[in-house]
Structure formats: C-alpha cells, structure tokens
Amino acid sequence: MKISGKNYHTIFVHPDNKSIVQVIDQRKLPFEFDFVYLKTVSDAFDAIKNMTVRGAPLIGVTGVFGIYLGLINDFDENWRPRLIKSAEYLKSARPTAVNLTILIDEMVALLEVCSSKEEVCEKAFKEANRMKLREIDWSEAIGNYGCELIEAISKEKNGQPVNILTHCNAGWLACIDWGTATAPIYKAFQKGIPVHVWVDETRPRNQGARLTAWELLQEGVSHTVIPDNTGGHLMQHGMVDLCLLGSDRTTSTGDVANKIGTYLKALAAFDNNIPFYVALPSTSIDFTLKDGVREIPIEQRDSEEVCLMEGKLETGEVTKIRIINEMSSVANYGFDVTPAKFITALITERGICKANSTDITRLFPEKIV
Ligand code: MRU
C-alpha cells in the first residue's frame, strides 16, 4: 500500500544487507515516518514487545524473521536447543495474538530437519519471506471476499456511501499489506464503490486515531475519527451499515479476541441489527481452543498507557502528558472476547463462513485437532 504515493511493506529485508530486517516504527506514527533496523533476535523481541510493530499478522511475521536473525548471528553445534529457546523467547513477547505462536511453531518444525549452518540459515530466510508473502496473499483474498459484502450493501443503498465502523488498526500497518479489516475497504474503494469509514480512536494507545486514520488518509479513503463511545449512537441513527474488525485470536468455535472495546461494539451492533464482520487469516485461528472467554489469554499492559497521552505540541514537539492523578489505580486490559453469537460472519482467505465450528471446519478441514 502507499505512503506519500510510494509502495511499502511493513517489514522487509534491507535491500543491500540480508542480515538486517527493516520495520516501520509504528510508535512514531502519525507524527513521523521512520524505520527501525532489526539485527538480532532480541531486536525482534523488543520491536514486538514495545509496539514498534503491532497487529497480529505483523507480529507473527516479525517473530519468524527474529528466528532467522537468531540463526545467522549465533550458530554452533548447539543451534537446535538455541532455536527452541529463541522461539519460546519470541513467543513470550505478547500473549494474545496467536499468529506469533502459530508462525514460529511452523518455522521451527521446518528448520529442525536441517543439518548445516548454510542450510538452516538459507531455509530460515526463504521461509520467513514465504510466510510474509503468504500473509499478503491471504489479506488480498480477504479483501476480495469482503468487498462482495460491501458491494451488495452499496447496491441496496443505490450507490450511497457505505458506512463502515472499525476499531483499533486492522489495516495494512497491522499486517504486511492490505490489512484484514481494511482489505475489503481498499478493494471496494479501488473498484469505485463509495465508502466512508468511522474510525474508533481506540483508547488507550489510540491505534485507530493514530494509525488507521493515517493509513486511510494515505490511501485517500473517506473517514471520520470518533471517540470510542460514539459507535452505539451512530448505529441507533442509521449511520453505520456494517462493522468490520480484525482478530488477534479466534477459537475453533468462532469466539473472537480483538482489541479491548470490540465486545461493546458487537453488543451495540447486535441490538441495532447491524452486521458485525470479523476479517482474519487462518493464522489468527487457534484451533486448540473452544471457549474464548475462558481460554484466551488477555494481555494486561502498562498503566502508563492509560495515564499518559502522547501528542504533538504546536511547536512540533511530540510529548506525553499525564491525564490521571498519580494516586488512582488503573487497569489496562489489551483485548476482550466477543462471543460467536454476536458475529455475523468471519471473512477468511478461503471465503466467508459463520462463526461456528461446523462452518470453520468446512473451510479448514485439515486444521481440526
Ligand atoms: O495491541 P495491538 O495494536 O497489536 O492490537 C491490534 C489489534 O487488536 C488489531 O485489531 C488486530 O491485530 C487485528 S488483525 C490485523
């Protein structure tokens, strides 16, 4: 997708140096567009942990590039136990998005059979890039399937703009390209279907206000940023045609963990009879889980994210200010779980399915454990 008219991926190998992986520094957006160079496994861990990269598909791909960096920098006869150690270390960076574990486990299984340094490093490089390109293909496929839903609503509305509500950033910044929730929007936009996006600001880190709004602006898609509590009101007044969100971990039964606040939007959509779609690649489905509320680990993050707001002063300086007194206690749950009964359908790379085990199994029969 485009930044100032130029195509980028969120992660890529340095064009002149195969031992450096570059990522867009999402902590600085929308105020500054910059990159971070990852050279070691701990650089990859830190980038995931400190939110330089974020979003379920992107942290998965960063994890496998981290494995590659670990191997090229540190290889001796003990490389196999070290590979397992790096894998566990990287997986521990963030607990909710299952993509990190799924991709790293896939990578380890592919590498364990190698014998020489040359073979394992070459394979790690090849597989990390293959997984990256696969994520792009899957995002694009999600875009094509989801676009059909938007097109159908557009026809019903006789070409009036389709109003889509989204939460957090499930855009191309959270992936490699296209995004999950935004892919159908970009496909519709490219087809000339009029769309307008309501962007939840997404406290406390404001991924909607900071990232999704910036991303949609780069692509020229009409959008409006709204405080998180606005969605219900808009839905009651016929100003939302569909909700379109991503997922960090979905169970085999269709319960969806996504950024905190998603559940409340699903309840409001349910009450107002508005379709609530979740767009996700199969690398976000945890086929080992059945009960999302009980089983999905929910990340609890630093209270500073709630207490301090970052913004740009009129002088141009980016700074943080405290918005809560120093004595009150603060909770910062990163995600919540929306039970499958509130979800109209899942949009995956293999098509659209109901959020239940029968339909999910029909699309992914080989994944059932
Ligand atoms: O904490 P973040 O910014 O990594 O959370 C990201 C989200 O919740 C996204 O909506 C999610 O990863 C959807 S998939 C692109």
pLDDT of the residue at 75: 84
Q: Give the domains, in start order, of the chain with CATH numbers.
A: 2-134 (1.20.120.420), 142-367 (3.40.50.10470)
Question: Is 166's C-beta closer than 6 angstroms to any atom of ligand 1?
Answer: no
Q: What mean pLDDT do residues 99-121 have? A: 97
- Nearest CA to 51 out of 22, 29, 25 is that of 25
User: What residue type is assigned to position 122 of the chain?
Assistant: E
- Please tell me which residue in 228, 241, 248, 336 is annotated as part of the active site: 248
Taking only the tens place, the pLDDT of each residue in 132-161 is 999 999 999 999 999 999 999 999 999 999
Q: What mean pLDDT do residues 190-196 have? A: 98
- Which mutation among 259, 263, 265, 346 tests ligand 1's pocket best, with the greatest number of atoms within 8 A of CB? 259
What's the pTM? Answer: 0.97
316: pLDDT confidence band, cut at 50, 70 and 90?
very high
Closest Cα to atom 15 of ligand 1: 170
Q: How far is the CA of 283 from the centre of ligand 1 (A)?
A: 13
Average pLDDT, the chain: 97
Percent of the residues in the chain that have a pLDDT greater than 90, as a whole number: 97
3-state helix/strand/coil string of the chain: CEECCEECCCEEECCCCCCCEEEECCCCCCCCCCEEEECCHHHHHHHHHCCCCCCHHHHHHHHHHHHHHHHHHCCCCCHHHHHHHHHHHHHCCCCCCCHHHHHHHHHHHHHCCCCCHHHHHHHHHHHHHHHHHHHHHHHHHHHHHHHHHHHHHHHHCCCCCEEEEECCCCCHHHCCCCCCCHHHHHHHHHCCCCEEEEEECCCCCCHHHHHHHHHHHHHCCCEEEECHHHHHHHHHCCCCCEEEECCCEEECCCCEEEECCHHHHHHHHHHCCCCEEEECCHHHEECCCCCHHHHCCCCECCCHHHHEEEEECCCCCEEEEECCCCCCCCCCECEEEECHHHCCEEEECCEEECCCHHHHHHHCHHHCC
Among this protein's residues, is 200 annotated catalytic?
no
pLDDT of the residue at 23: 98
